[in-house]
Amino acid sequence: MAHAALTEPDRLWSAQEVLSRPSPVPAAAGVYGWYFEKAPSADLAAGHLLYVGIAPRYMANRTSTQNLRKRVRYHYRGNAAGSTLRLTLGCLLGIELRRVGRSGTRMTFGKAGEAALSQWMAENAEVCWTEHDEPWTLESELISRLDLPLNLDQNRHNPFHSRLKELRSQARQRARELPVSA
């Protein structure tokens, strides 16, 4: 069953393993789940599934080029503008969000902050996955049935939702008040 691959995984994969070549993550559609050896907040349990994501997301009008390998690797080494998981973790860890780029509309944790977040994830985050042809259906089912405090979309019923939403909102507001970062 697809749920068990995420809720009771045979194994979890580290950043070093996922980022190695060849990567063990398949270039296929599916759902991935994140576990944390050290939780990003004292209010969250370490060693539990805290977040699920999908690749590709549902797109009615076009075809996505995303797959599990691209998405999982991006979460480990990308930036907050392209990863809601990274945005959430950085906000929980107290890393300063900044406006970046020429327009100043993108928000990341800057070079140093993103590097610190990548390091924290390399030390604390592990991932598992399951292939699925329509990952958005499995994601919705998991969010409705499981306690996934780091998921915001479709997850208003989670007790951590309002706190996390507010924390991210405050981080964005502070970033808007700061000058655009180089």
Nearest to 144 by CA among 55, 136, 66, 134: 136
pTM over 0.85: yes
CA distance 143 to 154: 7
- Please, are residues 125 and 34 in contact by the beta-carbon 8 Å criterion? yes
Q: If DSSP states are collapsed to H, E and C, what string results for 103-155?
A: CCCEEECHHHHHHHHHHHHHHHEEEEEEECCCHHHHHHHHHHHCCCCCCCCCC
Quick one: pLDDT at residue 102? Answer: 87
pLDDT by 10s per residue, the chain, length 182: 668 999 999 999 999 999 999 999 999 999 999 999 999 999 999 999 999 999 987 655 556 788 999 999 999 999 999 999 999 999 999 999 999 988 888 999 999 999 999 999 999 999 999 999 999 999 999 999 999 999 999 999 999 999 999 999 999 999 999 999 86
CA distance 144 to 70: 26
Quick one: pLDDT at residue 63? Answer: 67
